[in-house]
Amino acid sequence: MEENKLIDLRKLVCPFSLIAARKEVNDLARGDVAEILVADSSTCESISTWAEDEGNKVIEVKKEGDYFRIILKKK
């Protein structure tokens, strides 16, 4: 799967990472795919929950070494 946008938030902590993710995802066009990188599991869960609550599709959540990778498709 090819991502349209890489959003690297590994240096931010919640709530700043969630705010940044929301801004970046909201700027995407409908149907675009984003790869979001975060440093911790609580941030990963917050962003995944927010994305689904907004109607976006979380395609994959995966731990990659010392960070988490979230793939989502904008509604």
| HEC secondary structure over the chain | CCCCEEEECCCCCCCHHHHHHHHHHHCCCCCCEEEEEECCHHHHHHHHHHHHHCCCEEEEEEEECCEEEEEEECC
Question: Would you kindly state where each structural domain of the chain is located, as residue ranges?
Answer: 5-73
* pLDDT value for 44: 96
Sign of CA dihedral 18, 21, 27, 31: negative
This prediction has a pTM of: 0.91
For the domain made up of 5-73, the CATH class stated in words is alpha beta
* pLDDT value for 16: 95
The residues annotated with a catalytic role in the active site are: 14
> How would residue 14 be classed by pLDDT, with cut points 50, 70 and 90?
confident
| Mean pLDDT to the nearest integer, 3-12 | 92
- Give tens-digit pLDDT for 31-59: 999 999 999 999 999 999 999 999 999 99
